[in-house]
Amino acid sequence: MAISESSPLLRQESTTSYAPDEEHEDAPAPRSTFARNLGALDGFALLISIVIGSGVFSSPGPIDANVPSPGAGLLVWLVGGVLAWTGALTMAELGTAFPGEGGIQPYLTYIYGDVFGYMAAWSWVVATMPATLAILSIVFVESIHSSLGINEPDPPMTHKLLSLLVLVCVTTLNSISTKTSTRLSSFFVAIKLLTIFLLIIAGLVVVFVFLGKNKDLGGHDWRKKNWFSPRDTVLPDGSRFDWTKVTTWESLGFYSTALYGALWAYSGWDKANYVAAELRNPSRQLPLSINTAIPTIIVCYVAANAVYYVLLPWEVVSTTDAAAVTAVTHFLGKGVAYFATALICLVIAGSALGNSFVAGRMTVAAANNNWFPRILGTVGYIGSIKVKNTVEASEPADLALDNDESPINALILNTVLSAVYILLGNMRILLTLNGLAEYAFFFLTVLGAIILRYREPELPRPVKPFILVPILFAVISGFVVIRGAVFAPIQAVVLVGIWAFGLVFYYLRIRVLERRSRE
């Protein structure tokens, strides 16, 4: 769909119709790329594997540092899950109304205009995905150090260099071939589910041993203190934060920052509509998959975080960026902790591998849409040099990807940007930056779904959740973005700078393409 730059922001009429009309009723319907042979149970399993990642092992510390009590921390995990749930249902509405690929970019383009679709792609390629890979690389190293008893508030440069090494290894694996990375990803799915299960079992053992023998194997605080009473939070630098001196407005800023940590762990809910492409009956099975998978994930996350508060002294939780490793080390000692660390590092590596895989494909898609230079859309090339037998550069990138080639140029760009974030930031700063970058556009997308309900009421919507579902998401996400930006002005300014540069790049590229078309 082509949209002129002079089109109004909220167009009264769409230039592209996704519903059959008299002029196009004889045209064959677009055929799905995939065979529709999956059921609701398959959709449930796919969503579980997409959403559950390393966040449940790394986010508890940053969340606990921004809430006054463990009970409040668990409520943040619950609110994050509800936000993911309502967002997934709304994305399912848009995904079935506008079948195709490309994430939220086509929706934003259709609703607001081409520049909004471009800005979403720019934000994901330049900010969200590189920050995600940087966080995962940092957490990988922090998990190893935590198992060794090293927990420094201001990690030295050696930590950053090791994080860069992890990042390069992930990129190298994804550059080898598409099949290699996808096979490894399938293995990592099983590992992360096993790890969460073992964590929950450990927590249950502590509780039942105490109830049966009155012997406390955990962190003691879980049975001696009120889970919802404010307490002084111990920060990573060793200082204490007194919650009784915080105003309501300030506390909302802390809660917004904490929520970004939870939303990081729920990342992937926006991919729910991709599952629809392979379901036999998407209009019935997709909502069923979402309405069973997301609540299951919420229960797993809340249970896992309750386990951290059972296994650890509460003042320790807020100081670590590797809560799972710290909990196992405290509970079972370093010997078992090494095994647990290996499992958790495999989970983190799997998440990093999967996100690097997606980041490369996002960059290729943006280049194929003429938003980025064409060289970033080539596959099997380093620069303009062919590195293996591949299709010609003039062939569609999708064909090359199907032939097991990798978008090496796109992966190099993502790696360089991620390296910058590793060198300039830390996990907690990057969590907020990532949350602001993602949810600004999620808010616009869901707001657009509400607008379309009134602008195009006749638009076919195989999945149509109750109107309060997108409204709830829009209200909460809009507030969290605004309050989070006020609370973390440095990250907000950096993000605005990235967006401003993206707009300049967009309009300069339009001029270049127009000049070439006239030549």
What is the structure's pLDDT at 481?
Answer: 94
- Count of C-beta atoms within a 10 Å radius of residue 349: 21
446-448-449-454 Cα dihedral, nearest 10 degrees: 140
Distance CA 261, CA 263 (A): 5
Neighbours of 237 (CB within 10 A): 9
Nearest to 236 by CA among 61, 71, 73, 76: 61
Query: Which residues have a Cβ under 8 Å from the Cβ of 251 and sit 6 or more positions away?
Result: 68, 243
* Widest pairwise Cα distance in the chain: 84
Element (H, E) at 381: strand 381-382
Q: Per the structure block, which two tokens stand in for 470?
A: 């997108």
* Contacts (Cβ under 8 Å, ≥6 apart) of 86: 465, 469, 470, 472, 473
Give Cα 502 distance to the centre of its chain: 21
CA distances from 2 to 15, 109, 221, 227, 495 (A): 8, 9, 60, 55, 28
Phi, psi at residue 218, to the nearest 5°? -100, -140
User: For the chain, how far is it from start to end, CA to CA, in angstroms?
Assistant: 24
CA neighbours closer than 13 Å in the CB half-sphere of residue 315: 9
Structural domains of the chain in order of their starting residue, each with its CATH number? 40-514 (1.20.1740.10)
Strands 385-386 and 233-234: unpaired
Amino acid 27: pLDDT: 37
Q: What six digits make up the tokens of 229?
A: 């009473």
**pTM score, two decimals?**
0.82
Helix ranges (DSSP H) in 214-333: 221-224, 248-265, 272-275, 282-311, 314-317, 323-332
| Helices and strands counted in the chain (H then E) | 21, 4
Residue type present at position 222: W
**pLDDT at 177 (0 to 100):** 60
Fill in the DSSP letter of residue 410: H
214: alpha, beta or left, given left = phi > 0 and alpha = psi -120 to 50? Answer: left
Q: Angle, nearest 10°, between helix axes 248-265 and 70-97?
A: 60
The whole-angstrom separation of Cα 168 and Cα 40 is: 37
DSSP, residue by residue, 465-492: --THHHHHHHHHHHHHHHHHHHHSHHHH
- CB atoms inside a 10 Å sphere around CB 511: 9
Integer-rounded Cα Rg, in Å, for the chain is 23
Write down the pLDDT at residue 159: 87
Supply the pLDDT for residue 146: 78
233: number of Cβ within 10 Å = 22
Please tell me the distance from the alpha carbon of residue 57 to that of residue 64, in angstroms, as a whole number.
Answer: 13
Angle among Cα 288, 292, 296 to the nearest 5 degrees reads 165
DSSP secondary structure string, 429-464?
A: HHHHHHHHHHHHHHHHHHHHHHHHHHH-TTS--SS-
pLDDT value for 33: 43
Buried b (16+ CB within 10 A) or exposed e, 25-41: eeeeeeeeeeeeebebe
Provide the pLDDT for residue 387: 64
Give CA–CA dist 439/259, Å, rounded.
11
The predicted structure's pLDDT at residue 510: 86
Give the model's pLDDT for residue 442. Answer: 95
CA atoms within 13 A on the CB side of 208: 6
Q: Where are the beta strands (DSSP E) in 118-243?
A: 233-234, 240-241
Q: What is the pLDDT of residue 88?
A: 92
Q: Kindly give the interhelix angle for 427-455 and 105-112, rounded to the nearest 10 degrees.
A: 50
Residue with tokens 């605005």: 496
Q: List the chain pLDDT tens, one digit each, 519 residues.
A: 333 333 333 443 333 333 333 333 343 333 444 456 667 777 787 788 778 877 888 899 999 999 999 999 999 999 999 999 999 999 989 988 887 655 788 899 999 999 999 999 999 999 999 999 999 999 899 888 877 766 665 667 888 999 999 999 988 887 776 565 556 666 766 777 788 888 888 888 877 776 666 666 667 788 888 899 888 887 766 678 888 888 899 899 999 999 999 998 998 888 777 666 667 787 788 888 889 989 999 999 999 999 999 888 888 888 888 888 888 887 777 777 788 888 888 888 888 887 888 788 888 888 888 888 888 877 766 766 666 554 444 444 444 444 456 788 888 999 999 999 999 988 889 999 999 999 999 999 999 999 999 999 999 888 899 999 999 999 999 999 999 999 999 999 999 999 999 999 999 988 887 887 776
For residue 393, how far is the Cα from the chain centroid? 31
Q: Where are the alpha helices (DSSP H) in 312-426?
A: 314-317, 323-332, 334-368, 397-402, 408-424
